[in-house]
Amino acid sequence: MQEQLSIYRKSLALRDMSEAIAHYFEYRKDALVLSRYPGLRDDVVHCLVADASLITKEVEMAARSSSYSKRMKSLTFINVMTRNILSYCNGLEKDGVKEKEYLNLLRTELKSFRRACKKWRRSLQNGLD
């Protein structure tokens, strides 16, 4: 139970940080912009927020499930989403984001979250949770 609460809190922190970073990096649309189509950076930050939100939802589903196989599928899905977020960070960096320290903060938060996920997976495999 403690592992579930910890991982859920970390998923919320990851989601909140992703939203803040996405909001910061999103290109501002104003009256002077001729194009009505979003740019690549806008697409990346929207995916970043969506995947971070999916992680939180998947953690909730896994925590509520009594099925070991459903929990493992959720953890596999969460692992894919965390890799996506890391790719989004790399993509934003290659897109010319100058404030790399924000991306590094998100990477650090992601690393902490992934460690907690591994710990939770071990507790599930050992039947401790």
**String of DSSP letters for 43-55:** HHHHHHHHHHHHH
pLDDT tens readout for residues 75-128: 999 999 999 999 999 999 998 888 899 999 999 999 999 999 999 888 887 775
CATH topology of domain 2-26+37-125: de novo design (two linked rop proteins) (1.20.1440)
Tokens 């992680």 locate to 55
pTM as predicted: 0.84
pLDDT tens readout for residues 41-81: 888 999 999 999 999 999 999 989 889 999 999 999 999 99
